[in-house]
Structure 1
Amino acid sequence: MVFKRLLGALGVGGPSVDTVLNGGPVMPGGTLYGQVHLEGGDTDADIHAVVLELVARVEAEGGHGYGYEDEDGEHEGVVVFDRTVVGGGFRLPAGARHTVPFSLPVPWEAPVTELHGQSLGIALGIRTELEVAGARDKGDLDPLSVAPLPAQEAILEALGQLGFGFTSADLEMGHLHGTGQRLPFYQEIELTPPAQYAHAVSEIELTFLAHPAGVEIVLEADKRGGLFSEGHDQIGRFSVDHATVLQVHWTAEVDSWIRRLVERRGGFGAPAAHGHDHGYGHGHGHHDEHHGSGMGVGTAVAAGAAGLAAGAVGGYLLSEAVDEFFDDEDEENEDNDEADDNGDDEEDEGGDDDWS
């Protein structure tokens, strides 16, 4: 990779930056390794801090006045969900090159972006911020790939074995009440049911909330109404320990979860065979009503013995949606640079906002 772009807020002739991640996806709870490459500009620069931010494009109903509004009236914005100083306190001579190696812990609740190398359409990135002589500039944005944990992969594979099809995946702003959620958003993976469930359920939404000991699984079934009853959402929560993943027959286990959701008449769950299954509510009240299309991607993933990632994944279309996220960010950075070049020398005070 080349040094990607001049840091506009630091002025023409300032240093440039490029962040290179070590190959392959990372898992939730894992460690991200890489290097930040700096190249000096026309004059010496005192590098106060090299900061890495983990960012995600997240949807929010109502939008709270932030982000970008899509075709369906929902709002999207870029959320910073981790921020770490990886270096600083050195002088970068004019024209000199300097490398800052780093190891960055990945939050356990980091959303899954791919399955068997196929994109799910989730836009995550790692953004580099340089602080030089009191000025700050977000100088580089690189895509971040997150592969599922063994428990997450086993559950997704089991759903594929049962005939569920992938519809879309997205990130929703808000908290799931009654869970151990720590990030300000959660991931929803939307699935279409196979024939044996289609008469009772129109859609299943799946959320993983991983932690050091295991994974919370939240399932929401959009149940169809009958002649004398309206449709409603049925919710269940289950827990899986990392240590027992290989001891479970996952197809049978997940099938039992789905059957319990389909057969229940109340709104919440009953005790689960492996771990815990509790009723829960939703912090912002929008989850029960939301059945969106993720990032505008309605691509179906063929289900079958090989799991959700088998067959025609439509990875090209999903990758295009993710690329748009980074293109939009680059255009916004370029617009900001032009504003700086036109005489706006005020320091950006909005860098710490969750939405940008």
Structure 2
Amino acid sequence: MVFKRLLGSLGVGGPTVDTVLEPGAARPGGTLTGRIDLKGGDADFDIEHIALELVARVEAEHEDGEAEGVVAFDRFTVGGGFRLAAGEPHSVPFTVTLPWETPITELYGQGLGIVLGVRTELAVAGARDKGDLDQLNIAPLPVQEAILEAFGQLGFGFRSADLEYGRIGGTGQQLPFYQEIELTPAPQYAYQINEVELTFLAGPAGVEVVLEADRRGGLFSSGHDALTRFTVGHHDVRDWNAEVDEWIRRLAEHRASYGSPAAYGHEDHHGHDGHGHGHDGHHHDGHRSGPGMGTVVAAGAAGLAVGVVGGMVAAEVVDEIGDFFEGDEEEEED
């Protein structure tokens, strides 16, 4: 629980709503369980519906640069159709299924700086109010964690993570945005690659792994990007260190013609997806900072462990989700 407030659109004396999520992180495609605690106001109210909305802070490219905004990416009606008497307490339990592409917000229990929330909407007597907002924590699927662990074992480090508005052509992407996890290169690839950007697109049958390498230029050649994609099953048993090393080796060694995105079923990486959002945007400059978090990385037995300068990320994300989404709500009300 992050926030609890009066049902603002009904003014003083209206019901209060408090959403309580089960402790611990959920997983993409898994269930989110909790309850919504209501407390009646100064009079009886007819509760028309109670809805949960999944929201995310997302970056978007535009002509003048980039901007951040809130994107709702799923919605569930979990209750309603009853009268809440004055002062009466009432709880509504819920279990909903998260989208498979729900972004990862933490790794090994440490935050990545991704801001997700569960917003509760209460419709009472024709008025609607987003009465409660809670931070949503998502841990990786087992196969996603195994791949990230392999990157760590190979010496790659975590740089940042963010959500980009737009679509990756040639994939089965369902949500209007995708997550990018930026990794610093392992020592054996540092002379070839500036960074690796990793995107997971999970679905019921498995996970698409999209890799992009920002390649270094040589004395007589400029650097360029290489993009490729692999599909893995949820229950695949592989030598993930060897698998990921092969992925990166192939990515690093692609020649410009062989490594063109079209060779792997993607749209032009510098093109647009029909919504005015290219998959490329700004993320080849090698200097994009993460969303307010500094990181250090410990590789080896612990894999791709995420450290935080000052250990403040968890608290910062809690504050940030409140400030960011509350600001968004004020704009909506205006």
- Fold conserved between structures, TM > 0.5: yes
CA deviation digits over 1:80-115, x for unaligned, max 9? Answer: 000111000000001001111111110000001111
> Partners of 1:42 and 1:258 in 2: how far apart?
63
CA deviation digits over 1:162-190, x for unaligned, max 9? Answer: 00010000000000010000000000000
> Partners of 2:258 and 2:176 in 1: how far apart?
23
Task: Give 1:157-236 correspondences, 5 Å limit.
Answer: 157-236=149-228
> Partners of 2:239 and 2:310 in 1: how far apart?
29
Task: Give 1:1-356 correspondences, 5 Å limit.
Answer: 4-62=4-62, 74-244=66-236, 247-266=237-256, 278-282=265-269, 283=273, 284-287=277-280, 289-291=282-284, 292-309=288-305, 312-314=307-309, 316-329=311-324, 331-332=326-327
> Partners of 1:3 and 1:289 in 2: how far apart?
34
> Partners of 1:192 and 1:319 in 2: how far apart?
22
Q: Secondary structure at the match of 2:312?
A: helix
Instruction: Give the aligned residue type for 2:254.
Output: R
Partner residue in 2 for 1:67: none
Instruction: Give the aligned residue type for 1:29.
Output: G
Q: Secondary structure at the match of 1:108?
A: coil
**1:288 CA displacement:** 5.6
Q: Secondary structure at the match of 1:171?
A: strand
> Partners of 2:146 and 2:235 in 1: how far apart?
13
**1:302 CA displacement:** 2.1
Query: Contact (CA 8 Å) 1:222, 1:233: kept in 2 or not?
Result: yes
Query: Contact (CA 8 Å) 1:3, 1:17: kept in 2 or not?
Result: no
CA deviation digits over 1:247-286, x for unaligned, max 9? Answer: 200000000000000000136659xxxxx95444453225
> Partners of 2:328 and 2:252 in 1: how far apart?
48
> Partners of 1:79 and 1:2 in 2: how far apart?
19
Instruction: Give the aligned residue type for 1:167.
Output: R
Instruction: Give the aligned residue type for 1:124.
Output: L
CA deviation digits over 1:292-336, x for unaligned, max 9? Answer: 2231334222222211116x3448333244223322146438857
> Partners of 1:16 and 1:249 in 2: how far apart?
52
Q: 1:137 to 1:299 in 2, by over 3 A?
A: same
Q: 1:313 to 1:269 in 2, by over 3 A?
A: same
Query: Contact (CA 8 Å) 1:58, 1:171: kept in 2 or not?
Result: yes
> Partners of 2:157 and 2:279 in 1: how far apart?
24
Partner residue in 2 for 1:68: none
Provide the identity percentage. Answer: 64
Instruction: Give the aligned residue type for 1:254.
Output: V
Q: 1:53 to 1:3 in 2, by over 3 A?
A: closer
Q: 1:268 to 1:112 in 2, by over 3 A?
A: farther
> Partners of 2:66 and 2:3 in 1: how far apart?
35
Q: 1:184 to 1:269 in 2, by over 3 A?
A: same
Q: Secondary structure at the match of 1:91?
A: strand
Q: 1:26 to 1:265 in 2, by over 3 A?
A: same
**How many matched pairs?**
323
Higher strand fraction (1 or 2):
2
TM-score by length of 1: 0.85
Query: Contact (CA 8 Å) 2:119, 2:132: kept in 1 or not?
Result: yes
TM-score by length of 2: 0.90
Q: Secondary structure at the match of 1:74?
A: strand
> Partners of 1:15 and 1:29 in 2: how far apart?
33
CA deviation digits over 1:193-226, x for unaligned, max 9? Answer: 0211010100100000000010000000000111
- RMSD in angstroms over aligned alpha carbons? 2.4
> Partners of 1:333 and 1:197 in 2: how far apart?
42
Unaligned stretches of 5+ residues in structure 1: 65-72, 271-275, 337-349
> Partners of 1:293 and 1:130 in 2: how far apart?
37
Q: 1:162 to 1:47 in 2, by over 3 A?
A: same
Q: Secondary structure at the match of 2:297?
A: coil
Unaligned stretches of 5+ residues in structure 2: none
